[in-house]
Structure 1
Amino acid sequence: MGRLPRLIATDIDGTLIHEDHTLSRRTADTLARLVDSGTHVVLVTGRPVRWLSLVYEQLTVPVPAVCANGAVVYDPVADAVLRADPLAPDLLAEVARRLRAEVPGAVFAVEVEDGRSMRHDPTWPIRPYEDDHPAVRPFDTDADLMAAPAVKLLVRAGDRDPDLFVKLVAGAVAGLAEATHSSNSGLVEISAAGVTKAAGLAWLCSRYGIDESEVLAFGDMPNDVPMLAWAGRSVAVANAHPRVLEIADDRTGSNDEDGVAAYLDGLFPA
């Protein structure tokens, strides 16, 4: 990069936090130290807004977040969505139609209300900590699925190889939407065309007057690839997907080894 970055962008799951979903004190302290020194720190995640509290409770500084793979930019201080770029209902309908034709047994969920709520097929597997969550409920028909703009459409079809499944889904929605994945469970995440982590982060950087050459980004999964390719310097954690390891400029320790904090502590000594 030639000089220290002005903004640090980091994915959360598989990158910043441990596999048990905890954030280490070392990582929290390192990020707080950088913010105090004037360096911008941004969380860039596939998570919806309603999942961010689990991370903010462990941070000591309320840094902004680019959520839902770039579809939402969130200010935690004001609890406000600064920007949202959802899939419109008519686009959702066409994407769902194509996927039902191409992927037998497909089931869907949608992140609505800027990611504060979720609607899902009755057979959709719900995470244990969202059981009985008032913002998460099943829909009765596809009309409910398409009733409101969605910042993300999620699709599953039984046990699938995630890399092969995302190729199938991407082919089905080509020209209409973006398809990616961030887990090993056969879950594919669909956003509006042009919506990626890179696009959401670029929008926020423009507000700060920061060029991509001044951004250092960390990630671990295919949904991070657009951001890592866009940033001035990219770093993959040791546990990253092969595609991420292939395109990143540098590597650091795994998420369970506090790889992000270790890299930043070396770059910005206390």
Structure 2
Amino acid sequence: MATHWIITDIDGCLTPEESVPWDLDGFWEFAHISRAASAGAHPVAPFILCTGRPQPYVECLMKLLDIRSPAICENGAVIYTLHDNHARYGPGVTEEKILALREVRAFIETDLLPQRPECIMQFGKEAQLSVYSEQPQVFPALMEDIAVFNQRQGGPELLINATHFYINISLAGIDKGNAIRAVAAELGLPSSAFTGIGDTVGDLAIQKNVRFFACPANAQEAVLHRADYVAPHPQVRGVLDILQHPEFQRS
């Protein structure tokens, strides 16, 4: 069956999640493939970026990689198209929910982060929150504190989960999966037209909405068990291996 698009996560797949230099040789090899795929000059299908990163970060990568599809940012809370420089909220995001999320952010910044100097709020997000730390062992306690505060405030239901180095706080029902379905509807394609790549539990929303799902060797345990194919290498080197699999070819 032909693959029309490959939906891929960014952190932990194309680039490291932690704040370190990229594998530049591996990334540029991927960039050349992506540019050729977008131009219809490569056997690999073109890409859709699907990430927790904010729109400005994604915009930069879209320009580097010549991504021509809508991109999914902030774990589905924002959808962005480069050709018209248009960003919009994903399905289910409302002004009321955003205002409640801002209260959660204020609590994190004023009550939690002063006690946790090893944790940093990620700037640039509109409808989702992320806290970064190179000491993820502190995440369970922080996640519990955030959940208790939101419940006490009568806030909207939240989805709070952790990647390798981030806590992501999302509005429940607003995730990569819903955004993927919205983009697929815009493109007029069924889930069988897509394959996917991811590395963390948040990317299982990709896995549920594609025909075939692969992950690099650094993927979280839950993802390794659900993947149709696991690459022998981590991060972008693993993605380059994945792209050789027949399921990621145009036909």
TM-score of the superposition, structure 2-length normalised?
0.74
User: Equivalent residues in 2 for 1:182-261 (5 A)?
Assistant: 182-184=163-165, 187-256=166-235, 258-261=237-240
AA aligned to 1:15 is: C
Residue 241 of structure 2: aligned partner: 262
Residue 152 of structure 1: aligned partner: 128
Shift of 1:24: 2.1
Residue 84 of structure 2: aligned partner: 78
Alpha carbons of 1:162 and 1:34: their partners in 2 closer, same or farther (altered >3 Å)? farther
Alpha carbons of 1:74 and 1:218: their partners in 2 closer, same or farther (altered >3 Å)? same
Residue 8 of structure 2: aligned partner: 10
2:143 and 2:167 in contact (8 A); partners too: no
Q: Could you tell me which of 46, 55, 72 is aligned with 1:49? A: 55
Shift of 1:222: 1.9
Larger RCO, structures 1/2 (Cα 8 Å, 6+ apart): 2
User: Equivalent residues in 2 for 1:22-37 (5 A)?
Assistant: 22=24, 24-37=27-40
For structure 2, the 5+ residue unaligned runs are: none
For 1:201 and 1:258, the matched residues in 2 are separated by 25
AA aligned to 1:177 is: L
- Which stretch shifts more, 206-215 or 32-41? 32-41
Deviation string 1:48-72 (CA, Å, 9 cap, x unpaired) is 0021244235324444310000111
Choose between structure 1 and 2: higher strand proportion.
1
AA aligned to 2:173 is: G
User: Equivalent residues in 2 for 1:93-108 (5 A)?
Assistant: 93=100, 96=103, 105-107=111-113
AA aligned to 2:183 is: L
Deviation string 1:129-168 (CA, Å, 9 cap, x unpaired) is x8xxxxx6xxxxxxxxxxxx94113357995527745863
Shift of 1:87: 5.8
1:87 and 1:150 in contact (8 A); partners too: no
Question: How many aligned residue pairs are there?
Answer: 233
Pair 1:180 & 2:161 matched: yes
1:71 and 1:196 in contact (8 A); partners too: yes
For 1:154 and 1:87, the matched residues in 2 are separated by 19
Alpha carbons of 1:61 and 1:193: their partners in 2 closer, same or farther (altered >3 Å)? closer
Alpha carbons of 1:165 and 1:246: their partners in 2 closer, same or farther (altered >3 Å)? farther
For structure 1, the 5+ residue unaligned runs are: 109-121, 131-135, 137-148
AA aligned to 1:14 is: G
For 1:94 and 1:260, the matched residues in 2 are separated by 34
Residue 118 of structure 1: aligned partner: none
Displacement over 6 Å in runs of 4+: none
Choose between structure 1 and 2: higher helix proportion.
2
For 2:83 and 2:218, the matched residues in 1 are separated by 32
Residue 139 of structure 1: aligned partner: none
Q: Give SS of 2:65's match.
A: coil
For 1:15 and 1:189, the matched residues in 2 are separated by 17
Shift of 1:41: 1.8
